[in-house]
């Protein structure tokens, strides 16, 4: 089936219809595999100092080195899109909010939690 079919199957029950709730172990395995494929923490062994001399990017500089990094970030973007489509409902927004509801959420919920977090972090 196509990605459109996968997203449509997840949109039947809103937030609770996401494949994240149907396949939590599959989500964790896919997320860890995506991080390993993108060579992100904790799977960034080729960027460790002892591995640096043996890594293929030491041979490149300038534009070629930049192209390797662009390809790495493109891989990260495509992995994020895949996780979103396969497990997080894709492009369907599960909770439609009006502008006044969104402002109330921001001012009455997100801002106090953020300020509390700031005070907690600065006190330690």
Q: What is the 3-state secondary structure (H, E, C) of the chain?
A: CCHHHHHHHHCCCHHHHCHHHHCHHHHHHHHHHHHHHCCCCCCCHHHCHHHHHHCHHHHCCCHHHHHHHHHHHHHHHHHHHHHHHHHCCCCCCCCCCCHHHHHHHHHHHHHHHHHHHHHHHHHC
The answer to whether 120 touches 114, Cβ cutoff 8 Å, is no
Using one digit for the tens of pLDDT, what is the confidence trace for 56-113? 666 777 888 888 889 989 999 999 999 999 999 898 876 777 899 999 999 999 999 9
Angle, helices 3-10 vs 63-87, to 10°: value is 40
More confident residue, 15 or 86: 86
Residue-range domain boundaries for the chain: 3-93, 97-124
Using one digit for the tens of pLDDT, what is the confidence trace for 20-60? 999 999 999 999 999 888 877 777 665 555 555 556 666 77
């Amino acid at each position: 089936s196509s990605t459109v079919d996968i997203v449509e199957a997840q949109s039947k029950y809103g937030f609770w219809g996401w494949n994240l709730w149907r396949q939590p172990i599959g989500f964790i395995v896919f997320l860890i595999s995506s991080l390993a494929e993108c060579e992100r923490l904790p799977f960034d062994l080729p960027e460790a100092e002892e591995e640096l001399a043996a890594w293929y990017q030491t041979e490149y500089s300038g534009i070629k080195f930049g192209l390797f990094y662009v390809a790495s970030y493109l891989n990260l973007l495509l992995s994020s899109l895949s996780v979103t489509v396969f497990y997080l409902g894709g492009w369907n927004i599960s909770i439609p909010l009006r502008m006044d509801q969104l402002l109330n959420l921001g001012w009455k919920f997100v801002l106090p939690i953020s300020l509390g977090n700031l005070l907690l972090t600065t006190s330690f």
